[in-house]
């Protein structure tokens, strides 16, 4: 059973977290944090100095996870994500490695 997955790119000293997902039935058990920490260690191993990501403004669970794991807000991409009735902003986050 796959409990979750993450997608990370690393190039030229920068890393980007493109996706992080835990299956709905397994959320709130620490798997997301564990996966995120693993991906951070992977980025470091590949000589990245910084990790960037984008998150929907309304995604309270993910934003709380990134905040407790030391990410800082860099800015906003206005109307970045499609949603049911319109568009939603992306919050750009980064963490030094």
The least CB distance from residue 13 to ligand COA, in Å, is 22
* Active-site residue, 81 included: no
x/- binding map, residues 65-94, to ligand COA, per CB under 6 A?
x--x--------------------------
Number of residues that bind ligand COA (CB under 6 A): 19
The least CB distance from residue 40 to ligand COA, in Å, is 13
Compute the distance between CA of residue 29 and CA of residue 68 in angstroms, rounded to an integer: 15
Other beta carbons within 10 Å of 71: 22
The stretch near ligand COA (CB under 6 A) out of 7-15, 44-52, 64-72, 78-86 is 64-72
Q: Which helix (H) or strand (E) holds 38?
A: helix 31-45
* Active-site residue, 66 included: yes
Place of tokens 């568009």: 87
Helix, strand, or coil (residue 80): strand
Tokens at residue 16, please?
A: 């980007």
Compute the distance between CA of residue 45 and CA of residue 24 in angstroms, rounded to an integer: 30
Interacting residue ranges for ligand COA, rule: CB under 6 A: 20-22, 27-33, 53, 55, 59-62, 64-65, 68
- Name the residues annotated as catalytic: 54, 66
């Amino acid at each position: 059973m796959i409990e979750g997955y993450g997608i990370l790119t690393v190039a030229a000293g920068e890393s980007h977290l493109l996706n992080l997902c835990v299956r709905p039935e397994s959320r709130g058990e620490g798997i997301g944090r564990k996966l995120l920490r693993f991906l951070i260690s992977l980025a470091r191993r590949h000589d990245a100095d910084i990790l960037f990501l984008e998150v929907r403004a309304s995604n309270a669970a993910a934003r709380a996870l990134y905040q407790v794991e030391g990410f800082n807000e860099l800015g906003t991409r206005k109307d970045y994500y499609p949603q049911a009735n319109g568009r939603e902003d992306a919050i750009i986050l980064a963490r030094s490695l």
